[in-house]
Amino acid sequence: MFDPVEKLKEFIRHPSVSADPKFKDGMVGAREFVAGLLGSIGFKVAVVPTPLHPVILAERGGDPSWPHVIIYGHYDVQPADPLNLWETPPFEPVIRGNRLYGRGAADNKGEVMTHIAAVARLLERRPDLPLRITFMLEGEEEIGSPSFPAFLDTYRDRLKKADFVFLSDTGIPREDQVVITCGLRGLMLFDLEVTGARGDLHSGQHGGVLRNPIQALAEVCASLHSADGRVNVPGFYDDVLDVEPWERAELAKFGQSEEQYREFLGIPAFHTAKGFSPFEAVRFLPTLEFNGIGGGYQGAGTKTVIPSKAFAKISCRLVPNQSPDKIRALVYAAIRERMPKDVTFRLVDQHHGTPYVVVPPDRSNTPADQPVVLARAFRAADAAVTEVFGQAPLYLREGGSVPIIADIKRVLGLDSVMLGLCLPEDNLHAPNESYHLGVMEKGMRASERILETVAGG
Ligand code: BES
Ligand code: MN
């Protein structure tokens, strides 16, 4: 059996930033590394080409009567910038305290390694385990998985006979409190570009005769929320479902105070939609956020200019039952109506992802036809987490997104059991990302037990 922490370090040393073509070698390196590792523990590995970053499919076949689990993860990582804020270089993993630091440590290389190590240990102990396992690791999660739906279509017949998908790419509040994630928010992203005059103008020579595009952009952006913290776009909340009482009850056990959360964020006060606690808002409500805004002079000193252009990068997080296409149409309609007619503008579609929800067994809204193996996997996860972490898991929706989970449901008809393993302190997408090695060790034990229980026998 290999040393999981050493292997994770090796994995992190390959800078697999999917967003930036400069990191092509890192993508190849990470892929070859993980494909090799899966091969070394007896899996039949295929690297499936896509228009951008290949998918790794690694199989342990077996008798068709055995349960079949697909373990999903991603080998790509977010860009490491801003580099100057890292205490040690992002792609030179180091252990400090009980954490392994490096880009991708927690999102998602650490969890991928957790499951590979769990499987390796399990198969070493039980070489005849009656379980079919397919690792499906993509390289485009952090850029919206552009190639993944087509990949799923191509491999549909082969993959749809599996029983469920198992993954860890979601969060937990504390190292002893695991969350089994029952929902993911969706996403809808676009750019808004506003143009005033045909070029930059002297603000004295021409100031006072035209609307500044930065002003137009700011006016429209400001109109997209109302004072009560809600998104001010007609129809935006129409498809949001009521929250089941069990979900609120589960969240009540969360154990973090609003005050602790406020301090963690470093904000003077919350600004949350009326009628929702911050913890509820993040899970049960959609949002509209400005991810970036710009235009005009950004350099040192001053410049008297009326810029020709201004832009904003905008995204909506969506909750189950909302459609990205429908929300896009509603938001665009509001912007078109509100944009002053004395400027021109462009709306540029970016990617989107559908929200996802899965209901564990024995709940008020559990589907009557929930597959037996899926229910068994949820129960196995509950028991394994309780035993290994010393506390029953919470069943919560996640504020973040893993958009392909909804695609997997749509194309393959499969639901996902999502074992959260990353902590708020792990700094996902930020400098000094790290993975908690205690969580990793317990995660391995939990994963091993879950898989063994699903196999039965
Ligand atoms: N692992 C995250 C999702 C996540 C974020 C879970 C925070 C728990 C807490 C995932 O890799 C991710 O970052 N997803 C992106 C998707 C986007 C780039 C299409 C997200 O949510 O922004
Ligand atoms: Mn991520």
For the CA atoms of the chain, what is the radius of gyration?
A: 24
From the number of C-beta atoms within 10 Å of its C-beta (0-12, 13-18, 19+), residue 13 rates as middle
The pLDDT-based confidence of 274 (bands split at 50, 70, 90) is confident
- Residue 60 pairs in a beta bridge with 133
pLDDT exceeds 80 at position 457: no
How many Cβ atoms are within 10 Å of 426's Cβ, its own excluded? 22
In sequence order, what DSSP letters do the residues of 128-163 get, joined into one string? T---EEEEEEES-GGGT-TTHHHHHHHTHHHHTTS-
Q: Domain limits of the chain?
A: 4-184+355-455, 186-240+286-353
Expressed in angstroms, the distance from the first to the final Cα of the chain is 24
Q: What is the mean pLDDT of residues 79-99?
A: 97
pLDDT tens figures, 134-151 = 999 999 999 999 999 999
Q: Ligand 1 pocket check: which of 316, 401, 407, 419 to mutate, most ligand atoms within 8 Å of Cβ? A: 401
Phi and psi, residue 59, nearest 5°: -120, 140
- Helices in 198-286 by DSSP H: which ranges? 213-223, 245-252, 258-265, 278-284
Ligand 1: nearest atom to the Cα of 398: 8
Contact 382, 363 (CB under 8 A): no
Cis, bond preceding 108 (omega within 30 deg of 0): yes
Phi and psi, residue 343, nearest 5°: -130, 165
Q: What is the mean pLDDT of residues 168-178?
A: 96
Cα 400 to middle of ligand 1, angstroms = 5
**What pLDDT is attached to residue 347?**
98
Mean pLDDT of the chain: 97
Query: Is ligand 1 within 6 A of the CB of residue 173?
Result: no
Taking the C-alpha atoms of residue 5 and residue 440, their distance in angstroms, rounded to an integer, is: 9
Question: What six digits make up the tokens of 263?
Answer: 């301090």
Contact 391, 177 (CB under 8 A): yes
Contact 150, 368 (CB under 8 A): no
Contact 160, 84 (CB under 8 A): no
**What pLDDT is attached to residue 211?**
98
Instruction: Give the CA angle between residues 418, 238, 311 to the nearest 5°.
Output: 80
**What pLDDT is attached to residue 254?**
85
Q: What is the mean pLDDT of residues 69-76?
A: 98
Q: What is the mean pLDDT of residues 285-303?
A: 97
Say which amino acid occupies 162: A
Question: What six digits make up the tokens of 88?
Answer: 């040690």
Share of the chain above pLDDT 90, in %: 98
Q: Kindly indicate whether the domain formed by 186-240+286-353 is annotated with CATH number 3.30.70.360.
A: yes
pLDDT tens figures, 205-243 = 999 999 999 999 999 999 999 999 999 999 999 999 999
Query: Is ligand 1 within 6 A of the CB of residue 144?
Result: yes
Which candidate, 306, 315, 311, 229, places its Cα nearest to that of 274? 229
DSSP, collapsed to helix, strand or coil, labels residue 72 as strand
Taking the C-alpha atoms of residue 261 and residue 309, their distance in angstroms, rounded to an integer, is: 38
Q: Ligand 1 pocket check: which of 264, 428, 429 to mutate, most ligand atoms within 8 Å of Cβ? A: 428
pLDDT exceeds 60 at position 424: yes
Contact 204, 304 (CB under 8 A): yes
**What pLDDT is attached to residue 279?**
94
Query: Is ligand 1 within 6 A of the CB of residue 403?
Result: yes
Contact 141, 74 (CB under 8 A): yes
Cα 323 to middle of ligand 1, angstroms = 19
Taking the C-alpha atoms of residue 174 and residue 418, their distance in angstroms, rounded to an integer, is: 16
Taking the C-alpha atoms of residue 355 and residue 401, their distance in angstroms, rounded to an integer, is: 8
pTM of the predicted structure, to 2 decimals? 0.94
Query: Is ligand 1 within 6 A of the CB of residue 187?
Result: yes
**What pLDDT is attached to residue 149?**
96
User: Which residue has the CA at smallest separation from atom 19 of ligand 1?
Assistant: 144
Question: What six digits make up the tokens of 68?
Answer: 């079949």
How many Cβ atoms are within 10 Å of 84's Cβ, its own excluded? 6
Which candidate, 280, 266, 245, places its Cα nearest to that of 365? 245
Phi and psi, residue 397, nearest 5°: -80, 160
Contact residues for 306 (Cβ-Cβ < 8 A; gap 6+) = 196, 197, 200, 201, 202, 203, 206, 207, 210, 212
Question: Pairing between strand 68-74 and 132-138?
Answer: parallel
Is-same-fold flag (4-184+355-455; 186-240+286-353)? no
pLDDT tens figures, 22-66 = 999 999 999 999 999 999 999 999 999 999 999 999 999 999 999
Ligand 1: nearest atom to the Cα of 171: 8
Query: Is ligand 1 within 6 A of the CB of residue 107?
Result: yes
Fold of 4-184+355-455: Aminopeptidase (3.40.630)
**What pLDDT is attached to residue 46?**
98
Instruction: Give the CA angle between residues 79, 85, 89 to the nearest 5°.
Output: 65
**What pLDDT is attached to residue 113?**
98
Taking the C-alpha atoms of residue 56 and residue 31, their distance in angstroms, rounded to an integer, is: 7
The pLDDT-based confidence of 256 (bands split at 50, 70, 90) is confident
Q: What is the mean pLDDT of residues 238-257?
A: 92
Classify the C-alpha dihedral 147-150-152-155 as positive or negative.
negative
Taking the C-alpha atoms of residue 215 and residue 343, their distance in angstroms, rounded to an integer, is: 10
pLDDT exceeds 90 at position 133: yes
Contact 400, 187 (CB under 8 A): no
Ligand 1: nearest atom to the Cα of 145: 19
Question: Pairing between strand 55-60 and 186-195?
Answer: unpaired
pLDDT tens figures, 376-414 = 999 999 999 999 999 999 999 999 999 999 999 999 999
